[in-house]
Structure 1
Amino acid sequence: MTLIKEQVNVEAQAIAAKKAARKISLLTTEEKNEALQVIADTLEANYLTILEANEADLQTGREKGYDEAYMDRLALSKERVFEFADGLRQVAKLEDPTGIIASSWTLENDLLVEKVTVPLGVIGMIYEARPNVTADATGLALKSGNAIVLKGGSSAISSNQAIVDVIHQALENTKIPKEAVQFISSTDREATQQLFTMKEHIDVLIPRGGASLINAVVNNATVPVLETGVGNCHLYIDKEADPVKAMNILINAKTDRPAVCNAAETVIVHKEWLETHLSLLIDTFREHNITVHGDELAVKLIPNAVPAGEDDWKNEYLSLDIAVKTVSNLEEAVDHIDEYGTKHSEAIITENQQNAELFMNLVDASAIYHNASTRFTDGSALGFGAEIGISTQKLHARGPMGLPALTTIKFKMSGNGQVR
């Protein structure tokens, strides 16, 4: 009986979101921006309430023995709450992606054709441990004229509920109906699975989390999916890499925030560079407490390195572990990335411009870097404001998904009685 009640409630929430989406689509840019400002202010004013709820989730995590990387993704602080509140203000300053006439032309019969950007409608967001996604996704959805149905993971249930409660409180004082932001509080998997098949109410699903979550959505959903991907990101240190530049990038990409998807998980090193700069690489690993999982040569040369197995080349460690692969040329590096990469973010460090261009042209990923850290694959870092995820697919949107990714196209034709 309980299961039936949850099914009805989830569908009712989706229907309410769809009705609200129609109202949002008629709002002006100024009205949407004002709502985001109010939400940001209200989140900051209520940060203690959010942190209290987050502490309940963290305590549960400690009791269940969540690892350090997972706890880092789950944890909030005053600074983090203020950061995602400020992210909403940044989104409010961005250009409205809707109502833009992408192109227009007039046919020989004087029928005017306009290709216009419009909201997707209702976005279903399925995500795991990051409570900040609740605010980020909401802000992007509302600014782009969409309603959103949020289904966060059970580990952050209290934090997400508190954030949504504050958002609803804020929306009471705006032109956006609070029904535009729906939060599915049930932790039953059946509630999540319902979103997979609600094509009549949900226009697109966006999964954000680990490989198992993303695969479950991609493989089971009948609703169109904007696929995000895990980040098995690689740094290739080329034969002609500047050693200081290489180590600075490696340190940032691996240690700045190891638990995020744009952190480096594998470093591929040209053997000639390794021979010349081995002591520098060893000192870097030792100084930053990085555990090396290496191929045969790496294990031989790097103290305390452990042999890498097949899983190490595939692994998204999300910790201070890194896989080290040695190669004889750029082509071997590209081949390794082609086999084990997740099409997220890949980087080459080299002073050889020809090698850099070859690498950037050959590697298949949503973000490619030359002499820069993979940590820039992020909506705010690239000037999009908050992001709703990193798309690793090739249709509709790819890379960090900001506001334009949450729109589609409508053709508007204006005539004066023309018939065909």
Structure 2
Amino acid sequence: MTTADPVLASRPTIDPVRWPDLAASRAKVRRGVESAVARQLFRSAVRRLAVRVEAGDEVLGGGAHDPSAPVMRLVRPEAFYAAVGSKALIGFGESYMAGDWDSPDLAGLLEVFAAQMATLIPAPLQRLRAFYVARHPSTERNTTRNTRSNIARHYDLSNDLFASFLDDTLSYSSALFEAPAQRVASVSGETALVSPPPAAPTWADLRAAQERKIDRILDAARVGDGTRVLEIGSGWGELAIRAAARGATVLTVTLSSEQQELARERVAAAGYSDRVDVELLDYRAVQGEFDAVVSVEMIEAVGHQYWKDYFRTIDRVLAPGGSVAIQAITMPHDRMLVTRNTYTWINKYIFPGGFLPSTEALADVTREHTRLRLAERLSFGRHYAETLRLWDERYLGALDHVHRLGFDEVFDRMWHFYLQYSEAGFRSGYLDVQQLVFRREVTA
């Protein structure tokens, strides 16, 4: 399915209470300097891109005469330019939510933009970035006071919502489909592998791929009979259940009360309540000693200011000879440095307080602040693109159920944009996902 399918409302009804910023922008369309500048910059950018932009009778873009180019339809051009002019990339996403523009191949369109992310804005203007991009609100910085509310805003939306598009494992992270790994260059002397794109997986392949992902990270952390495991970020309990099935004892911590409740139910149903403890606890407050520490796509929610605290905590609780295995979404190091203080559409609507690290940053922070050293990593970003594609297809097929849960048409478009935006990032190579293994440095 695509946004051309009738399941998504092209002109959603905007509830001003739920979506105040969208309602405000509809009430007063700006036609001043910001809108004019956005129009000029956008048109200049798309001339260099293999996309076809349709604005009424006008056709723009480097792919204007290419019938295979991804299409962007400006339904209300002036509202689109006003949104982008006033709020840059946040406005780009909000204008999609409001139905100002659409695309029959949203992921394909966004992939083209993502592949050229570093050059979309002219270099002179990029040097002025600090003056025009939004900054993170202090209330979303991941202090011990703020972190729980940041997590709740996403993960406490509704267990039923997540179940509507996830497979039976309820794994909300990249699957690892069957594909041979190849050795690539390292960044810090580690053993580095990459798994090539999988061959068009289907929904029937997803559960096994999620189990493969979990089993690989448990293997990397050397989890077996008698292992004491700390999991940072519980999800809905699947990793803890599979670790317990190996004979391990597990403390898994989360800041989502919804996740805690359902994870406990699933652990009990699997018969492992005596082996798995699911606690509502900030990772910084964990006490004890563990033979293995595992964490799947949780470091993205930590915030770059707290990466050293995250790894110091792991180093503090890791038993001698223990292993650490984390799965992390990463971005290129140069883009990470440029964007680390930027407040994005993803921050505002999906993951408040979140920020993606680079591989180099994780190697550096562990080297500078802990005894941990990056030992192994597997890159499989294209597997995430396929995972997201399958999630989005499932989500679009479940919209009637989602509406019965209380979510509206604007949410439909927001969530679809989030899944397709993410898929485009991984498909273009702008984003990656990696399993990284850290072990203590051996000293004489």
Flag whether TM exceeds 0.5 (same fold).
no
TM-score of the superposition, structure 2-length normalised?
A: 0.30
- Greater Rg over alpha carbons, structure: 1
TM-score of the superposition, structure 1-length normalised?
A: 0.32
